[in-house]
Chains A and B, each alone.
Chain A
Amino acid sequence: MSSPVPSQARTLQKLYLALFLRGRSSRGLQKDKAPQSIGRKLWGTLALYAAVGLIALTFAGQGTFALSIYLHAMSLVFLGMFIAASAGEILFNKDEAEILLHRPVDSRTLLWAKVAVLVRVSLWITCAFNLAGMVAGSLSDKGSPFFAPVHFISICLSALFCSGSVVLLYQLCLRWFGRERLDNLMTTAQVLLAVLMVVGSQMVPHLMIGMQGKMDPLANQTWLFLLPPAWFASLDQVLLGGGKPAAWIMAGTGVLATALVLGLAFGRMARVYEEGLQTLAESRPRKERRPGKKRFLDLLTDAPPLRWMLREPVTRAAFRLVAAYLARDRDMKLRLYPGLAPMMVMPMVFMVQSLRDKDGINWGVAIAAGYLGMIPLTAMTMLQFSQHWQAADLYRQAPVQGPGPFIHGAVRAVCIFLAVPAMALLVVITCFLPHGPSQLVTLLPGIIALPFFALLPGALEKAAPLSKPVEEAKSASRGGFMFLAVFLAPLIPALGLGARHFGMLSLFLLLEAALIAVGCWFLSRAIDRKAWDPLE
């Protein structure tokens, strides 16, 4: 009897799950080593989500609807961030075209397999985050013993909705704006998604305060029908048997919206996806430049102050390399800019929130400046990883003692191309706020701390640009570090505000500048002393 033929769909799902867990590239690894390394990181990530999910316990006393809407809102934020960060790589991997596009695989099957893996991993994350909430919802006085299984059904649906929406968004971008601008469109789409998620996450607390754990206030506010967390929380209510007509309508909207999104993404628009994949196999010629015309980067690096800052040739080369990747590399753009978007949006959210407060403008501007440091910190952390990491062997072939000059070049590129424009934007926005120019001084504590944040990743780890496989970026400890940094970022501006309140801002700024200078000197020395690790 002949052995069964595995279906294409199952084969591809198995493939993509293996690729997700092991990463797409490996060097010198035996089979038993690779999956464990990524797998362990995944367990760490899930543990982190489970720990963050404990916050849900504070909503346990407010009844199942309040708990459910909180869980769904936060799950959609986390899922949206995860899917936005992973989808570009999973859906449009360039190497994959050479491996799979000439084989008899239907684009719909390929798409389903990828999304099935996205949904599966999304569910692991969501389940980890929702675990505490589901237990609390099932065991608390105002809860229901069936809350856990019912909520599991609704989070499955919301994971499908979230994945389908991202896929559909890409397909619509491809269809409306053409294939030529695919890379930039994907980056823009992911940045917008990230922004949407951050803004959404800021709305949740206000919503929770507004509804005070009751369903009734929701029924009178039709705009709530637009919010997916309300749909899926209502589905929980309906499945638990306590649904009012408004809940039935919203639950129905959730189910219908999910069906519609999936129907469009995997039905009518699947062909667009195939065209998008084929675009990746095409290499279009760059626009011709006028002879003798200098590139923008040449103009920039040949003129002061960069000419002075980049006297050291290796640092200068690393600066140019990083600048090129920031502007041109598809994979880098897809990971970096959506990752930076929350760091740009959070300050804006603080500024908008502080506008409501008559005297609150100080803290909004100051905290926003505090988050400026997160831009080079995040960028330096992400810039270490690249699909072309093996090309970084070139650094070792050159007669350079260690990764120091490469890290310094990357730090300067990140500061010039990302942090300085963000700082300028913040200054301009502050000037346009009521009493804005007088508030500019409150930006200083955040701005002074910026170089310290920029040097930190290079000093803590060997953050030589583009030198590590992208898979290593998926690390729970790195996620935890960033989480911590986001919470600590407003600390310095908060101290600055305190000093200003007591009329000691000048002294504070002097002290801060001195401490930051000493800190930067130590970090810079640590970077210079780093030596190359042996190759595997």
Chain B
Amino acid sequence: MISLHRLTKQFGLQTAVDSLSLEIPAGQIVGLLGPNGAGKSTTLKMLTGMLIPTSGSATICGHDLLKEPMEVKRNVGFVPDSGAVFESLTGLEYLEMVAALYGIPAEAARERIRQFIAFFDLSFETLTDKLLGAYSKGMRRKVVITAALLHNPPVVFFDEPLDGLDANAAVGFKALIQTLAREGKAIVYSSHILDVVERVCDRVIIIDKGKLQVDGAPAELVAAHKARSLEQLFTRLTGGQDLEQKAEDFAKTFRP
């Protein structure tokens, strides 16, 4: 479903993504992990057509990223970590605008929007009367997730999707993506919340400085690297040593 071959992105002299190659089949939830600046968001932005790769290639649902960008975009849903929306539109106006961009008839779009707001416990009045700028962070995130799934894409990229969601919505969302994967969608889930990734994802990819470090099922990776948990494996691979000592030293600086 998703295929990357030596995908690379450079910003000037800095290499953000370095020759990344991997395959993601349909029905799999893949956790994309890495410290800040590892290249996760850059990878997702390349796969959604927002950035042009410096070299390498990728295909999504058999469509080449560079040769058939429109086909790729039709098959992809993306929740960016910024959660950016047009703040001066109401939630409904925003979602109907997104639906129209994918060629979904207004009636069908309205019906699908109703299903999503029922799932996310949003009121229709909020969606019609309030501008998105007045939404809480969690409500806005729900609208962005709805916008990514409106056109029922076979491939979905989530960049920190739980950011701002309350506990109930987060539980519901995790169940949702597992159901979507069972129905054959390929899902890439980028997050810093490692225990959620460990529980939800079938497979974990850790990248650091743009390079792939490990790739496999969470339990297998933990066992293979003789780590206690995915968290310990992550910190070991990405240079996060002595974190407790550093925290203690820092806290000491606040003492009068």
Please give the residue numbers on chain A whose beta carbons come within 8 Å of chain B beta carbons, in ascending order.
2-8, 11-12, 14-15, 18-19, 22-32, 34, 95-106, 180, 275, 278, 281-285
B51 on the A face (CB < 8 A): yes
Q: Are A18 and B107 in contact (CB under 8 A)?
A: no
Give Cα A296 to B40, complex, Å.
34
Q: Are A28 and B134 in contact (CB under 8 A)?
A: yes
B20 on the A face (CB < 8 A): no
List, in ascending order, chain B residues with CB within 8 A of A5's CB. Answer: 100, 103-106
Q: Are A102 and B88 in contact (CB under 8 A)?
A: no
List, in ascending order, chain A residues with CB within 8 A of B98's CB. Answer: 103
From B70, B93, B103, A18 is in contact (CB under 8 Å) with: B93
Q: Are B86 and A282 in contact (CB under 8 A)?
A: no
Give Cα A95 to B82, complex, Å.
9
Q: Are A101 and B101 in contact (CB under 8 A)?
A: no
List, in ascending order, chain A residues with CB within 8 A of B134's CB. Answer: 26-30
Q: Which residue of chain A has the shortest Cβ distance to B48 in the bound complex? A: A102
A31-B90, A104-B70, A104-B73 as given contacts; A95 in contact with B84, CB under 8 Å: yes
CB distance from A6 to the nearest CB of B (A): 4
Segment at the A interface, from B123-131, B172-180, B189-197, B201-209: B123-131
List, in ascending order, chain B residues with CB within 8 A of A8's CB. Answer: 100-101, 103
The main secondary structure of chain A at its interface with chain B is loop
Over the window 38-64 of chain B, the binary record of Cβ atoms lying under 8 Å from chain A Cβ atoms (1 yes, 0 no) is 000000010011111000000000000
Question: Which of A14, A104, A106 lies at the interface centre, i.e. has the most chain B CB atoms within 10 A of its CB?
Answer: A104
A27-B134, A31-B90 as given contacts; A98 in contact with B97, CB under 8 Å: no
Q: Are A102 and B133 in contact (CB under 8 A)?
A: no
List, in ascending order, chain A residues with CB within 8 A of B14's CB. Answer: 284-285
Known interface pairs A8-B103, A26-B131, A281-B50; 8 further A-B residue pairs with C-beta atoms within 8 A, sorted by A's residue number: A3-B107, A24-B87, A28-B133, A30-B129, A97-B50, A101-B48, A104-B70, A285-B12
B89 on the A face (CB < 8 A): yes
Give Cα A30 to B103, complex, Å.
28
Give Cα A43 to B78, complex, Å.
39
Q: Which residue of chain A has the shortest Cβ distance to B72 in the bound complex? A: A104
Give Cα A474 to B82, complex, Å.
27
Q: Are A34 and B50 in contact (CB under 8 A)?
A: no
A18-B88, A25-B87 as given contacts; A6 in contact with B100, CB under 8 Å: yes
Q: Are B88 and A26 in contact (CB under 8 A)?
A: yes
List, in ascending order, chain B residues with CB within 8 A of A4's CB. Answer: 105-106
B210 on the A face (CB < 8 A): no
Q: Are A278 and B128 in contact (CB under 8 A)?
A: no
Give Cα A25 to B131, complex, Å.
9
Q: Are A278 and B52 in contact (CB under 8 A)?
A: yes
From B12, B13, B82, B130, A31 is in contact (CB under 8 Å) with: B130
Give Cα A468 to B107, complex, Å.
38
Q: Are B76 and A99 in contact (CB under 8 A)?
A: no
Give Cα A102 to B69, complex, Å.
9
Give Cα A434 to B217, complex, Å.
82
List, in ascending order, chain A residues with CB within 8 A of B86's CB. Answer: 15, 19, 24, 99
**A-B residue pairs, 8 tightest by C-beta:** A26-B133, A102-B48, A22-B88, A11-B100, A3-B107, A98-B84, A104-B73, A101-B50
B211 on the A face (CB < 8 A): no
Q: Are A103 and B73 in contact (CB under 8 A)?
A: yes
List, in ascending order, chain A residues with CB within 8 A of B100's CB. Answer: 5-8, 11
Please give the residue numbers on chain B whose beta carbons come within 8 Å of chain A beta carbons, in ascending order.
11-14, 45, 48-52, 70-71, 73-74, 76, 78, 80, 82, 84-90, 93, 97-98, 100-108, 128-134
Give Cα A2 to B111, complex, Å.
12
A30-B131, A278-B50 as given contacts; A106 in contact with B70, CB under 8 Å: yes
Question: Which of B71, B84, B85, B105 lies at the interface centre, i.e. has the most chain A CB atoms within 10 A of its CB?
Answer: B84
From B13, B49, B78, B131, A29 is in contact (CB under 8 Å) with: B131
Q: Are B101 and A105 in contact (CB under 8 A)?
A: yes
Give Cα A11 to B89, complex, Å.
13
Give Cα A441 to B128, complex, Å.
64
List, in ascending order, chain B residues with CB within 8 A of A30's CB. Answer: 129-131, 134
From A2, A31, A102, B76 is in contact (CB under 8 Å) with: A102
List, in ascending order, chain B residues with CB within 8 A of A28's CB. Answer: 133-134
A5-B103, A26-B133, A27-B133 as given contacts; A102 in contact with B89, CB under 8 Å: no
List, in ascending order, chain A residues with CB within 8 A of B129's CB. Answer: 30-32
Question: Which of A25, A103, A180 lies at the interface centre, i.e. has the most chain B CB atoms within 10 A of its CB?
Answer: A103
Give Cα A449 to B82, complex, Å.
46
List, in ascending order, chain B residues with CB within 8 A of A18's CB. Answer: 88-89, 93
List, in ascending order, chain A residues with CB within 8 A of B128's CB. Answer: 31
Q: Can you list 15 A-B contacts with CB-CB less than 8 angstroms, sorted by A residue number?
A: A5-B106, A6-B106, A22-B88, A24-B87, A27-B134, A30-B129, A98-B82, A99-B85, A104-B102, A180-B12, A281-B50, A282-B11, A282-B51, A283-B11, A284-B12
List, in ascending order, chain A residues with CB within 8 A of B74's CB. Answer: 104
Q: Are A25 and B50 in contact (CB under 8 A)?
A: no
List, in ascending order, chain A residues with CB within 8 A of B78's CB. Answer: 102
Q: Which residue of chain B has the shortest Cβ distance to A277 in the bound complex? A: B50
Q: Which residue of chain B has the shortest Cβ distance to A18 in the bound complex? A: B89
Q: Which residue of chain B has the shortest Cβ distance to A30 in the bound complex? A: B129
CB distance from B114 to the nearest CB of A (A): 15
Q: Which residue of chain A has the shortest Cβ distance to B84 in the bound complex? A: A98
Give Cα A44 to B49, complex, Å.
42
Q: Which residue of chain B has the shortest Cβ distance to A101 in the bound complex? A: B50
Give Cα A11 to B103, complex, Å.
10
